[in-house]
Amino acid sequence: MDTSSTKPRRSARTPDRILDVAQRLMQTRGYNGFSYADVAAEIGVRKASLHHHFSTKAALGAAVIARYTARIAEALAEIDAGEPDAAARLVRYTRLYTGVLTQGRLCLGAMLAAEIGTLPQPMQAAVRKFFQANLAWLEAVIERGRSTGALAPQGTDAEAARVLLCGLEGAMLIARPLKDIKGFRVTARALLAGLGRRG
């Protein structure tokens, strides 16, 4: 999932800059691994100023995941609009992940999934929504691919969607400790191959 920001121009409004920095820190260090002090230092304001825009850390976290999910939805809609072929749609989907990983980031959903038990309740619900949206889109694409003959996965559409989502999120998760982005690309390709005609 890219969508780190459409254009991280310095002239962005302060709330957006806060969201950008908070999102990057959440994707690299986790929700429990960053503080208002980190964000403030990077934006160039004082901690207290952040509270004017996002009253609590929980509110900031919720805003970040909400924007992230919305941007993913936009990205998926763009893929649908630009790619008629199901297999090509999935390739573009995996490229979203590659984009994030090459920035040294983890998918925000994956990071928050790991921390799920420590998150404020609204964020927990948002994480769940995020994965459900991804699964729903993938399932629809796979269904389409099966009907046109572009894809022939084993098992149900829902199962194939989940295998792909879990495989990509897991590959991203593991790529960073292994310091092996190339391995992620290979794994992503193998996952797509598994959905192919001979799958």
Partner DNA sequence: GTCTATACAGCGATAGAC
Partner DNA sequence: GTCTATCGCTGTATAGAC
Contact residues toward DNA (CB under 7 A) are 14, 34-38, 44-49, 51-53, 55-58
Q: How far is the CB of 33 from DNA (least distance, A)?
A: 9
Q: At how many degrees (to 10) do helices 86-101 and 57-82 cross?
A: 140
Contacting a second copy within 121-140 (CB under 8 A): 124, 127-128, 131-132
> Which partner in DNA, a second copy, none is near 35 (CB below 5 to 8 A by kind)?
DNA
Give the footprint of a second copy on residues 78-117 (CB under 8 A).
106, 110-117
- 41 versus 186: smaller Cβ distance to DNA: 41
Identity of the residue, 12 or 66, whose beta carbon is nearer to a second copy in the bound complex: 66
The C-alpha atoms of residue 37 and residue 42 are separated, in whole angstroms, by 9
Interface with a second copy in residues 161-190 (CB under 8 A): 162-163, 165-171, 173-174, 176-179, 183, 186-187, 190
Judging by beta carbons within 10 Å of its beta carbon (0-12, 13-18, 19+), is residue 88 exposed, middle or buried?
A: middle
Q: How far is the CB of 51 from DNA (least distance, A)?
A: 4
| 71-116-24-168 Cα dihedral, nearest 10 degrees | -70
* Residue (31 or 97) nearer to DNA, CB: 31
Buried b (16+ CB within 10 A) or exposed e, 154-176: eeebeebbbbbbebbbebbbebe
d(CA 169, CA 164): 9
Work out the angle between the directed axes of helices 157-178 and 181-193 (0-180°, nearest 10). 170
Point out which residues bind a second copy (CB under 8 A).
28-30, 32-33, 106, 110-118, 124, 127-128, 131-132, 154-155, 159-160, 162-163, 165-171, 173-174, 176-179, 183, 186-187, 190-191, 193-194, 198-199
